Amino acid sequence: MTRSIGDRLELVAELLHTYGPFRCMADVGSDHALLALRALDRGDAAFAVASDLRPGPLARGRANAASHGCGEDRIRFRLSDGFDGLGEFAFDCACVCGMGGELIAELLKRYGPRPTCRFLLQPMTAQDDLRRFLWENGYRIDREAFTCERNRPYAVLAVRCTGEAPQPYRYADLFLGKERPRTAAFAAYAEKVRTQAEKRLSGRLARGLDPTDEQSLLAEIARMR
């Protein structure tokens, strides 16, 4: 068994289990490759490729794979900027975790539409930028799930590229998503959104800018309580 991967990646692993099994998963920005090893261990992926931009994390990932008894017949490692170095692998699931939402959106844009691939995305920041990109560029968010790790809330998005027309959304949807479960984790996530919205509102008022969007977002959060 792989060691604990923390609540944040554990939620990604649960979604992998829900939507799998997959023939090949790509763990993009894999760090220690623990998510990929968990997927292999549970049978949620038959094969995995773990990529990272830096050699250090890849070395740690290889060490973890070796201690887990996983050889190159089950997992490969690639030094890669996003999806750029993964062209040889026909993966049907890609997990992109631990990056800012703007960067994840940029990686998806560079990779191009892949209707046969399931994406599991865990943005650390700028969730609004990522949701905007997805809804405006032919992606469908099938599910959003929330968790907390060390008192910090996180969202994980299960996404497909459908090529459909841009989807309508409200300003509040960019920050809260359209799926808002009545859970403690989502409540903590909404509280973080509220705090950030109040700061943006104060800044807009101080500069004499239109406060309507932030006020509508704060009103939406108040109605959920």
Looking up residue 38, the CATH number of its domain turns out to be: 3.40.50.150
Residue 18 scores a pLDDT above 80: yes
Asked whether residue 1 is domain-assigned, the answer is no
Q: Are 75 and 41 in contact (CB under 8 A)?
A: no
Helix (H) / strand (E) containing 202: helix 184-206
Structural domain that includes position 181:
172-225
Query: Tokens 């949701």 belong to which residue?
Result: 131
For residues 38 and 126, state if they share a domain. Answer: yes
Residues 206, 155: one domain?
no
Residues 161 and 213 in one domain: no
Q: Is residue 123 located within the same domain as residue 104?
A: yes
Same domain flag for 126 and 207 = no
The answer to whether residue 123 is domain-embedded is: yes
Tell whether 179 and 160 lie within a shared domain.
no
The percent of residues in the chain predicted with pLDDT above 90, rounded, is: 95
Q: Are residues 23 and 63 in the same domain?
A: yes
Asked whether residue 2 carries a pLDDT value surpassing 80, the answer given is no
pLDDT given at position 58: 94
Query: What was the pLDDT predicted at 103?
Result: 97
CA torsion through residues 21, 48, 2, 35, sign: negative
Does the pLDDT of residue 3 top 80, yes or no? Answer: no
Same structural domain, 130 and 215: no
Q: Count Cβ atoms below 10 Å from residue 172 Cβ, excluding itself.
A: 22
Q: Please state the pTM of the whole predicted model.
A: 0.95
Whether the CB-CB separation of 36 and 77 falls below 8 Å is answered with: no
Say yes or no: 211 and 123 in one domain.
no
Are 144 and 188 within one domain? no
Question: Which of 152, 169, 186 marks a domain boundary?
Answer: 169
The tens digit of pLDDT for each residue in 174-214 reads 999 999 999 999 999 999 999 999 999 999 999 999 999 99
Closest CA to 79 of 57, 105, 47, 102: 57
| Mean predicted confidence (pLDDT) in 154-159 | 98
Read off φ and ψ for residue 159, nearest 5 degrees: -130, 145
The mean pLDDT value of the chain amounts to 95
Q: What confidence category does residue 141 fall into, taking pLDDT thresholds of 50, 70 and 90? A: very high
What pLDDT is attached to residue 73?
A: 95
Number of domains, the chain = 2
Q: pLDDT digits over 35-84, tens only?
A: 999 999 999 999 999 999 999 999 999 999 999 999 999 999 999 999 99
Predicted local distance difference test score (pLDDT) of residue 77: 97
